[in-house]
């Protein structure tokens, strides 16, 4: 529900107001001005409180590589591409748009599809920018820092507000093409290493019983494509939990089979996959937060593991090709809920996920910047978050 400004009441006339017409007119004029100031003050306060916010963890900026530069197909260039989610309310007549600037005066400006959205809901437009919106002739070959802002204008009500301000770094790598005609065929990409130490732990409704028996899930980033052989394991009190075996094989095996975001270049490079950052969603089918179905926990393969019966500290360990590559720690309270560290809430992310530090182990991600998280979310680091 969108909050409405409290109407300002007109102050009552004091008993000492003179009764002659001139004095009375002057007094009424003063009181009318005061009332107008109160109304404007309330309206301004309400606008500030009710304007939409950009979910920090939804903003993804990538460089869309174009196969030409000012008509020259022997040289590649790039334009920005943007994904985002907007937490309502978004008033009727509003238009979300973005502006990108580079040193030396280069700039892009483009709209994102916008829809009126109520408070407590969010709007996620399709891709903004990129080749379709900006065209081949807007490409540049610049690499280095880029500044951008996400804004909202409303010509019905007047006004233009800035919702998000960020910065990122564009780099380039040669394509996998060879020959004299391909010397300037560079693939452009945005460095996304800041994502790697940031993870999410959350509950999801069961396919049948919904929130009466929710499943434990989590998401994490890796520098690889989706179908990497990641194997998640859950530990409590130093022991692995949630395992079921049937005739010598594991039943309900945990897995990471869905990608939530994949930031990858538009052209191939060698070695393949080195500039792909993917956020994968993983789940533990045998681990439930609680069971409020009225039915027992026993299945034909064994008992379900309930977090509500086993509160305390947990650790997710992830194997990749037989090597330990991630460690994620979190807590569970006596009700089976993920212990809320308030990071997501305080940063107004608009979801029910708990943000947790991710310890990156091994070398499966290649060379990466271990301090990048300090400048996370394009220069808008999460309040209260500290990397492992």
CATH of the domain at 68: 2.60.40.10
Beta bridge partners of 166: 148
Contacts for 326-333: CB closer than 8 Å, 24+ residues apart: 326/220, 326/222, 326/358, 326/359, 326/360, 326/361, 327/358, 327/359, 327/361, 327/388, 328/199, 328/201, 328/218, 328/220, 328/356, 328/357, 328/358, 328/359, 329/356, 329/357, 330/201, 330/354, 330/356, 332/307
Say how many domains are in the chain: 2
- Structural domain for 260, as ranges: 194-372
In this prediction, residue 29 carries a pLDDT of: 46
- Asked whether residue 152 falls in the same domain as residue 105, the answer is yes
- Asked whether residue 163 falls in the same domain as residue 224, the answer is no
Domain assignment present for 215: yes
- Asked whether residue 148 falls in the same domain as residue 133, the answer is yes
Of 173, 191, 209, which closes a domain? 191
- Average pLDDT value for the chain: 85
Domain assignment present for 25: no
Q: Which residues of the chain fall short of a pLDDT of 50?
A: 1-49
Q: Encoding tokens for residue 17? A: 């107001």
Burial of 148 (0-12, 13-18, 19+ CB in 10 A): buried
- Asked whether residue 187 falls in the same domain as residue 200, the answer is no
In this prediction, residue 148 carries a pLDDT of: 98
Domain assignment present for 38: no
In this prediction, residue 4 carries a pLDDT of: 31
d(CA 279, CA 266) in angstroms, rounded, equals: 18
Domain assignment present for 29: no
Of 191, 213, 235, which closes a domain? 191
- Asked whether residue 185 falls in the same domain as residue 242, the answer is no
In this prediction, residue 299 carries a pLDDT of: 81
pTM exceeds cut of 0.85: no
- Asked whether residue 185 falls in the same domain as residue 302, the answer is no
Domain assignment present for 379: no
Domain assignment present for 186: yes
- Asked whether residue 186 falls in the same domain as residue 213, the answer is no
Of 165, 191, 217, which closes a domain? 191
d(CA 47, CA 26) in angstroms, rounded, equals: 32
- Asked whether residue 90 falls in the same domain as residue 238, the answer is no
Domain assignment present for 220: yes
- Asked whether residue 154 falls in the same domain as residue 265, the answer is no
- Asked whether residue 368 falls in the same domain as residue 243, the answer is yes
Domain assignment present for 274: yes
- Asked whether residue 216 falls in the same domain as residue 322, the answer is yes
- Asked whether residue 178 falls in the same domain as residue 108, the answer is yes
């Amino acid at each position: 529900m969108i909050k409405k400004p409290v109407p300002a009441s007109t102050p009552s006339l004091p008993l000492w107001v003179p009764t002659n017409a001139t004095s009375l007119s002057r007094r009424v004029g003063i009181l009318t001005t005061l009332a107008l100031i109160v109304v404007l003050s309330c309206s301004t306060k309400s606008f500030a409180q009710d304007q939409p916010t950009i979910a920090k963890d939804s903003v993804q900026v990538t460089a869309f590589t174009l196969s030409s530069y000012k008509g020259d197909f022997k040289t590649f260039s790039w334009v920005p591409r943007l994904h985002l989610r907007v937490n309502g309310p978004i008033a009727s007549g509003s238009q979300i748009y973005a502006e990108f600037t580079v040193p030396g005066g280069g700039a892009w400006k483009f709209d994102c599809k916008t829809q009126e959205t109520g408070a407590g809901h969010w709007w996620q437009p399709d891709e903004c920018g990129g080749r379709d919106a900006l065209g081949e002739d807007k490409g540049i070959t610049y690499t280095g820092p880029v500044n951008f802002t996400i804004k909202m204008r409303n010509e019905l009500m007047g006004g233009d507000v800035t919702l998000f301000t960020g910065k990122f770094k564009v780099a380039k790598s040669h394509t996998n093409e060879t020959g004299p005609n391909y010397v300037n065929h560079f693939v452009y990409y945005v460095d996304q290493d800041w994502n790697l130490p940031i993870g999410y732990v959350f509950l999801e409704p069961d396919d049948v019983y919904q929130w009466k028996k929710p499943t434990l899930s989590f998401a994490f980033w890796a520098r690889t494509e989706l179908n990497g052989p990641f194997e998640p394991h859950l530990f409590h009190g130093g022991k692995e939990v949630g395992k079921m075996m049937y005739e010598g094989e594991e039943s309900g095996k945990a897995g990471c089979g869905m990608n939530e975001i994949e930031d990858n270049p538009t052209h191939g490079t060698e070695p393949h996959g080195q500039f792909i950052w993917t956020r994968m969603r993983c789940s533990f089918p045998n681990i439930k937060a609680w069971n409020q179905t009225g039915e027992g926990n026993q299945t034909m393969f064994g008992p379900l593991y309930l977090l509500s019966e086993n509160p305390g500290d947990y650790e997710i360990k992830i194997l990749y090709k037989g090597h330990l590559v991630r460690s994620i720690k979190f807590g569970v309270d006596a009700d089976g809920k993920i212990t809320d560290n308030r990071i997501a809430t305080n940063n107004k992310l608009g979801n029910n996920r708990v943000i947790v530090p991710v310890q990156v182990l091994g070398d499966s991600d290649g060379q990466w910047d271990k301090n990048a998280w300090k400048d996370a979310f394009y220069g808008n680091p999460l309040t209260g978050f500290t990397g492992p």
